[in-house]
Amino acid sequence: MAEPNVLDLNRLRRGCAHCSLQQLCLPAGIGADELQRLDDIVRRRRPVTAGDRLFRIGDPLTAVYVARDGAFKTVTITEEGEEQVLGFHLPGELIGLDALAADQHRCEAIALTTANVCEVPFDQLSSVAAQVPGLQQQLLRVIGQSVGRDQDHMAVLQRRQAGERIAAFLHGLSERFRHLGQSGTQFRLPMSREDIARYLGLALETVSRGFTRLQEDGVIAVTGRRVEILDMAELNRLAHAPETDEPRRRGRA
């Protein structure tokens, strides 16, 4: 975040073929010349900054989006005017599928950090997908991954204990970072405590206390948004078991 990245234009010009996400994103598993057809319709936009919106509630479905880096959240607004966080989106994860049913977005997508985004015009995507079997298959697969993340989230929200939800959240995030080739044990949270709280259906104070508790128990180390996972197995255990109040492990494992 120092200089204005004068070389970014070059990076933006590079197509799917050179993208580090190629194997995770829409192009995964399709041939070279078919890749070109996809590449032709993908628009790469200049970087967005934190707080920018890709689309708003009620907007027509014009495109789906994939972050190349950075992170997004999707939110709805409740009757009382407060945000509910539906999901967090890391690079390679499709954003905008919520408009599939009604051609109209039910939520809005907000950048949590500065980010580079690929925009894929939806009608062109579906017509190319109809002609390129591999792309259709991959599109369905990526949609399926999105459904899977939603179901994981539901499973987390069904957990009754705040500690379980928080542990599950951190564990899931860790896996997603690792899947991107980044460290799964040391990372910076792109979202605020409040975002996490609204995502997990908890009060933000409860999230804060949960982090503190995990730190006291030697499972993680937190400073603000920097998180290091010290005991992944224990974190995973806490995410699934209702916290058998084990005699508070001190020092080492």
d(CA 128, CA 64): 14
d(CA 155, CA 201): 12
What b/e sequence results for 151-167 when a residue is b if at least 16 CB atoms lie within 10 Å of its CB, and e otherwise? Answer: eebeebeebeebbbbbb
- The residues that touch DNA, with contacts defined as CB under 7 A, are 160-163, 192-194, 201-209, 211-212, 222-225, 242
Does the protein bind a copy of itself through residue 208 (CB under 8 A)?
Answer: no
Contact 74, 117 (CB under 8 A): no
CB of 132 to a copy of itself, least distance (A): 9
Closer to DNA by Cβ: residue 25 or 166: 166
How many other C-beta atoms can be found within 10 angstroms of the C-beta atom of residue 20?
13
Closer to DNA by Cβ: residue 91 or 210: 210
Closer to a copy of itself by Cβ: residue 27 or 47: 27
| Residue given tokens 């925009």 in the structure block | 119
Q: Pinpoint the alpha helices (H) of the chain.
A: 8-13, 32-41, 122-131, 133-158, 162-179, 193-200, 204-216, 232-240
Does the protein bind a copy of itself through residue 124 (CB under 8 A)?
Answer: no
Q: Choose among a copy of itself, DNA, none what residue 194 binds, the Cβ cut-off being 5 to 8 Å by kind.
A: DNA
Among 111-119, 151-159, 174-182, 244-252, which window interacts with a copy of itself (CB under 8 A)?
A: 151-159
Pairing mode, if any, of strands 63-67 and 94-95? Answer: antiparallel
Q: Choose among a copy of itself, DNA, none what residue 186 binds, the Cβ cut-off being 5 to 8 Å by kind.
A: none
Does the protein bind a copy of itself through residue 76 (CB under 8 A)?
Answer: yes
Does the protein bind a copy of itself through residue 160 (CB under 8 A)?
Answer: yes
d(CA 54, CA 58): 12
Structure token pair of residue 183: 């460290």
d(CA 208, CA 142): 33
CB of 166 to a copy of itself, least distance (A): 15
Q: Choose among a copy of itself, DNA, none what residue 77 binds, the Cβ cut-off being 5 to 8 Å by kind.
A: none
Q: Which residues bind a copy of itself (CB under 8 A)?
A: 76, 78-80, 84, 86, 97-102, 106-107, 126-127, 129-131, 133, 136-137, 140-141, 143-148, 150-151, 153-155, 157-160, 198-202, 240-241
